Amino acid sequence: MPRITYIEYNGTTHVIDVPVGTSIMQGAVNHLIPGIEGDCGGLCACGTCHVYIPEPFRALTGAAEELEQGMLQFAFDVREGSRLSCQITVSEGMEGLVVEMPKRQY
């Protein structure tokens, strides 16, 4: 199980093991990590699981597809590295991945 680091906007860090095949969003929701809402349950329909993937880790997560890019238009404070965490599936190679949360989701 890859160990993923979630960093809240205020700097609070959560390091958890997330099962391969689980989304980054579901890993956060399963561990009650604040800052990732996931109101649509991971269907890429709300944008409330918006996160930032720091540069060194972007190759691990791949690029956002068209549907995700469209939903990101409704997210708060979108910038380079913005992704919807429901669209990133954890793989073995993601050990050490860092995910940062925006100030708010709405």
- Taking the model in full, what pTM does it have? 0.95
Return the percent helix, strand and coil in the chain, to nearest 5.
Answer: 25, 20, 55
Residue 106 has pLDDT above 90, yes or no: no
Q: What is the share, in percent, of the chain residues with pLDDT greater than 90?
A: 99
Q: Domain spanning 3-100 has what CATH number?
A: 3.10.20.30
pLDDT, tens digit (0-9, with 9 covering 90-100), for 49-61: 999 999 999 999 9
How far apart (Å, rounded) are the C-alpha atoms in residues 34 and 58?
22
User: Exposure string (b/e) for 46-55, b if CB count within 10 Å is 16 or more?
Assistant: bbbbbbbbee
**Residue 1 banded pLDDT, cuts 50, 70, 90:** very high
**Residue 20 banded pLDDT, cuts 50, 70, 90:** very high
pLDDT, tens digit (0-9, with 9 covering 90-100), for 26-38: 999 999 999 999 9
Residue 102 has pLDDT above 90, yes or no: yes
DSSP calls for 3-38: EEEEE-TTS-EEEEE--TTSBHHHHHHHTT-TT---
DSSP H or E run through 84: strand 82-84
Q: Where do the structural domains in the chain lie, given as residue ranges?
A: 3-100
